Structure 1
Amino acid sequence: MLLVTNQYEVTSREVFLKVLGTVVVFWLAHVFATAVSRMGVVADAKSPFSESLRYAFAHSAGLLIAAVVPLTIVLLGVVDLISDDIALWTALWVDAALLGLLGYFSSGAWTRNTSLRLRVGAGTALLGVCVVLLKAFIH
């Protein structure tokens, strides 16, 4: 979303609001889809809807958490601590780094091989770098 909103001449404030709104909408959709899909698994529970909803909130929390760091960086541009361009570019590069860390740590669930985990992390970070480069070519 940072990439899309920054294609036009926009301020950090506009990007912040659009990205925040998009994250909330996607999060709500994810919570809903997860809760509905979980209903079949817990159909025999005392309160299947409540149990499914609790599970969905916990399962979907990562989507909100992942947005905190880049949105905080964009917020620095909103309050004029850094320029809009620096805020948006920094948020994009931080996203790429976060993808790398996510790849590294999540691969720990299926391998303890440090070399492989580093390669997985580099691969997911490369995905983020591709997004940043795409932004550079579009803009």
Structure 2
Amino acid sequence: MHSSTTNRRFPGGFVTEASVYGTILVSGMIVVAGGYGATSWQTFLGVIGTVFVFWAAHVYAGAVVEYGLNQAQDSTMATAVRLSLRHSLGFLTSAIPPSIVLLLGALRAVPDDVAVWAALWLGVVILGAIGYSAFAFRGSPWVIRILGCLGTSTLGIAMILLKVLVH
């Protein structure tokens, strides 16, 4: 889990596989909730509950694997949990922006449909930013950064297409 490439820290800890996975999970939950005609409040509650359950499972799995793979004498389960918590933070933080948008719909600040679609498109933007940032971190030329942005944002667009097909 924590190979030399995943241990490298991106500025701000935003660009992680956990961030990508968390964003896709939230988008998938929004699509599924929309298939059942859920309100933005129901979608918000479903997203928050699901994200916390999956995040806890991700932290637990990461800690167990880290503890098992780290054969150093001073390795403890507490250290493994701390490393896994740090590694999994993007899972939670990536869910915050779309959840805020869903909450705006739940509070009737915006219509339900607007909140749901805005949250989905925000997922596309987040994925694009992660892709762009990953290539920028490596010092790639701007064309490659844009291609990285388009590549990761395609995952979010796939969720939007899925939502269209579900309806």
Bin for the TM-score computed over the shorter chain:
over 0.9
1:115 alignment partner in structure 2:
143
Q: Which has the higher contact order (CA 8 A, sep 6+)?
A: 2
Extract structure 1 runs of 4+ deviating beyond 6 A: none
State the alpha-carbon separation in 2 of the partners of residues 110 and 22 from structure 1.
33
Give the fraction of aligned pairs with identical amino acids, expressed as a percent: 37
1:34 alignment partner in structure 2:
62
Q: Secondary structure at the match of 2:74?
A: coil
Alignment: residue pair count: 139
Q: Output the TM-score relative to the length of structure 1.
A: 0.93
Counterpart AA for 1:21: G
* Contact kept in structure 2, 1:42 and 1:48, CA below 8 Å: no
**Which one is further off, 63-72 or 43-52?**
43-52
State the alpha-carbon separation in 1 of the partners of residues 139 and 68 from structure 2.
31
State the alpha-carbon separation in 2 of the partners of residues 80 and 43 from structure 1.
53
State the alpha-carbon separation in 1 of the partners of residues 30 and 84 from structure 2.
26
Gaps of 5+ in 1: none
Q: Kindly name which structure, 1 or 2, has the bigger radius of gyration based on alpha carbons.
A: 1
User: Offset of 1:112 from its aligned partner?
Assistant: 2.1
Map of 1:1-139 to 2, 5 A cutoff? 1-46=29-74, 48-139=76-167
RMSD: 1.3
State the alpha-carbon separation in 2 of the partners of residues 29 and 74 from structure 1.
24
